[in-house]
Chain A
Amino acid sequence: MATIQFLNAEKSMQFVSEYSRLVLTDIMRKAGVPSILVTSTARTPADQARIMYENIERYGIEHQKLLYSKYGDQVIDEYSKYKSKKHHKQFIISMMQAKIIALDPSKISNHVADPMKLNVIDIAPSSIDPSLRRLFVTAVLGEKRVAKYLGPPKDPAYHLEIPQPEKS
């Protein structure tokens, strides 16, 4: 039996559709992996704007600009612009959200997606027995329903993007 566990289940479970669960369990069965831990799923542009706002407040503009590519930097510039004019938090987050949408959310974070169209799922490599990880990756790469895959060593998680079937 293939078990899919979730970190922050309350928040993240809703963003993994039945279709995606079926894709994941098919992959797990092929690889002989009994259990996986999902560490992150999709978020809305509003969530992304709020996270970026809070991280800028926490770490400062310079630190966050170092982190992001040129697209993320433009969202941070929105923060600077409206913060300097002493606008309130919600307004600044709204302006950052608008910028994210205008730029194309996928350029700001691979996790910003419409879950009805695309499920974005991170899986903790540590939740899979080391001897099965290669088989798991082979099964992911051989799965046509997975549109995009990234994983170690370039990325800390197995990052899967699963387009959702159109509802008739």
Chain B
Amino acid sequence: MIKKAALYFVFVCLSTSLAPAWAGSGNDCVYEHSGVDVQKFKKSRHVIGFEKLERNTGYMGALKGIGGFHLQLFNCVHYGATLTVLLGPNPNAETVTKTFDTLPTLLFPAVEVAKVKAALKEVKLDALYNQQHLERLAAEIGMTDINVQIMDANGMSLLVFAFYGG
């Protein structure tokens, strides 16, 4: 219970700092779906606990053997998602590798999973504290940008994996 409250607190702090006010565009959305299969994500053997925060856009839960996550979906001017994974205060290389191995299956159609896994394997772990843009992968799978970064929030390390197209 305490863990869940702490996780929620971290994600709320994070989303507040990352998400300033926005000006809406009305109902002129080009996209109606993020491209992420939420049911597949929810039912994955890697996912334990899956809660809806906002209707069809925000979810939180935990990844087995890794930590809590927050999933933000986008489906208007662009499509895509940002997955934030709570790695804990001192994440080791094994946790990051395990996370990289899990993310593609959760977020991408089966046809692209191998490509995303291969690209993530090429990312040097010590470079992750600066945002890494996976330009070649983005071009290969028809996305505008795919990026990954480890950041610190309230003494916790968070892995932020984001991609969008449109």
Residues of A within 8 A of B (CB): 7-8, 39-40, 51, 54-55, 58-59, 63, 66-69, 71-72, 107-111, 122, 124-127, 130, 133-134, 136-137, 141, 148-157, 159
Contact = CB atoms under 8 A, between A and B. Distances in A.
B111 A72 contact: no
B31 A59 contact: no
Interface string B1-37: 0000000000000010111111111001111110100
Contacts of A130: 17-18
B18 A125 contact: yes
A67 B76 contact: no
6 contacts: A54-B142, A72-B31, A122-B145, A133-B20, A134-B21, A148-B25
A68 B31 contact: yes
Interface residues of B, number: 44
Nearest to A126: B131
A58 B22 CA distance: 33
B30 A68 contact: yes
Interface of B: 15, 17-25, 28-33, 35, 57, 72, 74-80, 82, 109, 111-112, 131, 133, 135, 141-142, 144-145, 147, 149, 160, 162, 164-166
A63 B109 contact: yes
B20 A122 contact: no
Nearest to A132: B20
B30 A71 contact: yes
A62 to B, nearest CB: 11
Contacts of A59: 109, 111
Contacts of A152: 18-20, 22
Contacts of A54: 142
B152 to A, nearest CB: 11
Contact of B31 (A8, A69, A134): A69
A159 B78 contact: yes
Contacts of A159: 77-78
A130 B13 CA distance: 11
Given A55-B142, A58-B142, A156-B82, A150 B76 contact: yes
Nearest to A111: B166
A151 B166 contact: no
A156 B74 contact: yes
